[in-house]
Amino acid sequence: MKKEIILFSILFCLLLISCWNPFAPREGIVSEINPISLKDPMNILNRIVLSYQNRDIDLYSSTLDSTNFIFIFDPKDEGLEEYLEQLGITDYSWGYTEEYLSTKSIFASMEEKNIVLFPVFSGGYEQTHGDTLLVIVRSYNFEPPVIEGEIIEGTVHFWIKKCSDELWRIIRWYDYVR
């Protein structure tokens, strides 16, 4: 009986120790230091890159303001007009739902072909407009899985707004393809 109590005590202590990790950050601190937290508008780019690398549509869609988001295509992009017309789009823009579904389809294609995409944002500048609006301009390039062997390059203008929940999200995405 004494051996059983000692064994039970040891197992109980091991169980308690395994629940506590002295190296884990405390609850609440993670969001303060997280490199993809939307509390910092500059993390939008990190979150987009990470969402593509992990093919995570929820992470991606969290960067977009679901009520005000508009993606504006470059009318100079060859072949785009025909594609958009097939979708019934005549003004070179679409909203949150279309962006969500399009990106979800791209991620599914990437998953199916076991492709990991690394969008690269470089150069550029930021422009602030008060305390709640920031424009981030960056060059970008990536190889999309739907057009094998082709690299897409261009410049993007993200209009990022601080929302009522104090998180920053994209409200306008102007895409200029080279």
Query: Does the structure show a pLDDT above 80 at 90?
Result: yes
How far lies 115's CA from each of 52, 110, 112, in Å? 10, 5, 8
pLDDT (mean) for 136-159: 84
How far lies 89's CA from each of 10, 76, 98, in Å? 67, 15, 10
Greater confidence (143 vs 160) lies with 160
Query: Does the structure show a pLDDT above 70 at 147?
Result: no
Rg, C-alpha atoms of the chain: 22
- What domains can you pick out in the chain, each with its CATH number? 36-177 (3.10.450.50)
- Which pLDDT belongs to residue 102? 92
- Which pLDDT belongs to residue 35? 66
Nearest to 125, CA basis, from 158, 167, 154? 158
- Which pLDDT belongs to residue 145? 60
Helix (H, G, I), strand (E, B) or coil at 126: strand
How far lies 73's CA from each of 31, 94, 115, 119, 137, in Å? 33, 8, 25, 18, 15
Q: How far is CA 129 from the centre of its chain?
A: 23
Residues 6+ positions from 51 with CB-CB distance below 8 Å: 57, 59, 60, 63
CA angle 146, 178, 53 (to 5 degrees): 40
pLDDT in tens, 36-80: 899 999 999 999 999 999 999 999 999 999 999 999 999 888 888
Can you read off the two tokens belonging to residue 37? 């937290």
- Which pLDDT belongs to residue 18? 47
